[in-house]
Structure 1
Amino acid sequence: MTDHDLSIVVEGLRKRYGAKQALDGLDLAVRTGTVHAVLGPNGAGKTTAVRIMSTLLRPEAGRVEVAGIDVRTRADEVRARIGLLGQSAAVDEALSGRQNLEMFGRLYHLGARRAGTRADELLVRFGLADTGKKAVEQYSGGMRRRLDLAASLICEPQVLFLDEPTTGLDPRGRAEVWDSVRSLVDGGTTVLLTTQYLEEADQLADRISVIDHGKVIAEGTADQLKAKTGGDRIDVVLHDAAQLARAAALLPGEAVVDADRRMVSATVGDRMVALTETVRALEANGIDAEDIAIRRPTLDEVFLHLTKEVAA
């Protein structure tokens, strides 16, 4: 993969705040036309990285290119090609949705007519056409966030930075924003997403970088990262807790027994083979299962596993 295939290239990025090293040699490569998620705990450096990539902060060291342009030497050109949705809403609640978008259009020097046309296009695109004349203070959390997202697209950016875009939203509001992000990528926009909601990365991201203490500690697809915790597991819940030890002996590898939940679990290789063989073994030994399931690790488990390794 060459730089021509990438919309964001970050190499050796460093930034310090006093005694705190916020970024410590961060490397990142984001393929054009994809969603790339950056996961990390509070203080890991996610927002600092976004602020540098979007020209709001200057790095102390490292190379950063966005849309093929160096953010240090040609910041104005970068700004013309990006959109940014920060953690806090940027819209004016006293104005209507349409007025907000028109205002952003004028700030981007679109001209009155083009700003109005662009506002109408975005209201339709984000399902806000029916409420475009209402004051934003009457919007739900999900509607406000969609309007904020629409405002970040006024200039039709090549690259969009979303810094924890669904913080504070209920599940419905998060789903609305997710749908909007998917439609953007379908249209060719490259999205860099920082989030603490691991489900969000699982739902949206083509690739995920996990960062801690200002550097990438793991990277890959969601499935690749989940494989780092040991792969799939089989969970068997029994009717009779007295049979747990016998059931554990029938599972492959080293089984883990949870007496309180009447459950025995083990890591497996081939999902379907393991499921079939376990069912047969339990039946042959007269062990009555209440439930049997094959599950993959969640990104929460991956995250805790990876950050625990770094801390150790």
Structure 2
Amino acid sequence: MSTPAITARGLRKSYGSQAVLDGIDLDVAPGTVFSLLGPNGAGKTTTVNILSTLIRPDAGTVSVAGHDLATDPDGIRTAIGLTGQFSAVDTLLTGAENLQLMADLHHLPRREGRARAAELLGRFELTEAAGKTPATYSGGMRRKLDLAMTLVGDPAVIFLDEPTTGLDPRSRRTMWDIIRGLVADGVTIFLTTQYLEEADQLADRVAVLDGGRVVAEGRPDELKRRVPGGHLRLRFADPTALHRAADLFAGSTPDTEALALRVPTDGTVPALRAVLAQLDASAVPVDTLTVHTPDLDDVFLSLTGQRTGPTRELVP
């Protein structure tokens, strides 16, 4: 097995008497997206700030890209990129000048820095805006420039702290495509987000942070299976077939008006096959079948007790 890109053990951080992180453990595989979810005050940004060397933990060990936080923080800084909640571009410089500034800070030779800036402007479809200041950019363009600046140093690990907050749906999906492209190139992404759909779309693994502790971790589909509420919805052509099917499955709920039957299930393929096999063995014809599984909204609510709004956002 490959060495984790990020490892944290027993991570603790308090401010006064308030424990923000209370002994969390994390393992992030290289070339994957790891998403940290949690309500306001759960410790997401504090975790990012510790892992990216911005603040020190009170206790615990951290390794990022093979570098130990306690003994080699400079090695971590060389290996990572960080895009925070708010755009860090200089609005007095043009897009190209912002990238060139980052190249200078990374001590790239002048010619190499210009080439890197031009490459990133093209990659993020900002070439036409290169000579303009970010004050004239849309929100999505500024976020793309911000991420492009993060990539100047060719980091192995990138921390994205709520990178799409405030973006319209089109710009958000553009950013998702960029993130997928980075992972395809072998970059490791550590993502915090207030959009549950974003974590569901992007993350290979998700950890839910609440009260300073990791209360659940796993692949999105694994977390969804832990939450009750998954079911199959079967529709029938006539009441006779509906009632025959209802007699087959204990705990099922018939809807005589819609000629539909709700059958509890964990949503796995074996469970689906078992239902279909039982219907087939009893010669009960089914018109349509729909699988309904819990989503990350359900996971979040069941684990943290927080409410999400109609836009499926976490509390920012």
TM-score (structure 2 length as normaliser): 0.84
- Relative distance call for 1:274 and 1:78 in structure 2 (3 A) is same
Give secondary structure in 1 for the equivalent of 2:108: coil
For the residues of structure 1 that align with 2:243 and 2:16, how far apart are their CA atoms? 58
Alignment partner, residue 212 of structure 2: 214
Equivalent residue for 1:157, pick from 129, 151, 155: 155
Structure 1: which 5+ residue stretches go unaligned? none
For the residues of structure 2 that align with 1:134 and 1:180, how far apart are their CA atoms? 22
The structural deviation recorded for 1:199 is: 1.0
Counterpart amino acid of residue 65 in structure 2: A
The structural deviation recorded for 1:219 is: 1.1
Q: Deviations over 1:23-77 (max 9, x none)?
A: 0001000011111111111111110000000000000000001011111221112
Counterpart amino acid of residue 63 in structure 1: T
The structural deviation recorded for 1:257 is: 8.0
For the residues of structure 1 that align with 2:192 and 2:254, how far apart are their CA atoms? 36
Structure 2: which 5+ residue stretches go unaligned? 307-316
Q: Is the 8 A contact 2:162 2:191 kept in 1?
A: yes
Q: Is the 8 A contact 1:275 1:294 kept in 2?
A: no
TM-score (structure 1 length as normaliser): 0.85
- Of 110-119 and 140-149, more deviation after overlay is shown by 110-119
The structural deviation recorded for 1:183 is: 0.8
Counterpart amino acid of residue 275 in structure 2: A
Alignment partner, residue 34 of structure 2: 36
The structural deviation recorded for 1:251 is: 7.3
The structural deviation recorded for 1:292 is: 5.0
Q: Is the 8 A contact 1:210 1:218 kept in 2?
A: yes
Counterpart amino acid of residue 302 in structure 1: V
Counterpart amino acid of residue 272 in structure 2: R
CA RMSD of aligned residues (A): 3.1
Alignment partner, residue 303 of structure 1: 300
For the residues of structure 2 that align with 1:210 and 1:258, how far apart are their CA atoms? 36
Alignment partner, residue 267 of structure 1: 264
For the residues of structure 2 that align with 1:138 and 1:296, how far apart are their CA atoms? 43
For the pair 1:254 / 2:251, whether they are aligned, the reply is yes
Q: Is the 8 A contact 2:245 2:284 kept in 1?
A: no
Task: Describe how 1:190-205 pairs up with structure 2 within 5 A.
Answer: 190-205=188-203
The structural deviation recorded for 1:85 is: 0.5
Give secondary structure in 1 for the equivalent of 2:104: helix
- Of 130-139 and 271-280, more deviation after overlay is shown by 271-280
The structural deviation recorded for 1:227 is: 0.9
Counterpart amino acid of residue 208 in structure 2: V
- Relative distance call for 1:253 and 1:38 in structure 2 (3 A) is farther
Alignment partner, residue 108 of structure 2: 110
Q: Deviations over 1:121-156 (max 9, x none)?
A: 111122222322222122222221111111111110
Q: Is the 8 A contact 1:257 1:263 kept in 2?
A: yes
Alignment partner, residue 6 of structure 1: 4
Alignment partner, residue 56 of structure 1: 54
For the residues of structure 1 that align with 2:280 and 2:231, how far apart are their CA atoms? 14
- Of 67-76 and 264-273, more deviation after overlay is shown by 264-273
Give secondary structure in 1 for the equivalent of 2:56: coil
The structural deviation recorded for 1:113 is: 2.4
Q: Deviations over 1:175-221 (max 9, x none)?
A: 01111111111111111111121111111111111111111111111
Give secondary structure in 2 for the equivalent of 1:218: strand
Q: Is the 8 A contact 1:55 1:72 kept in 2?
A: no
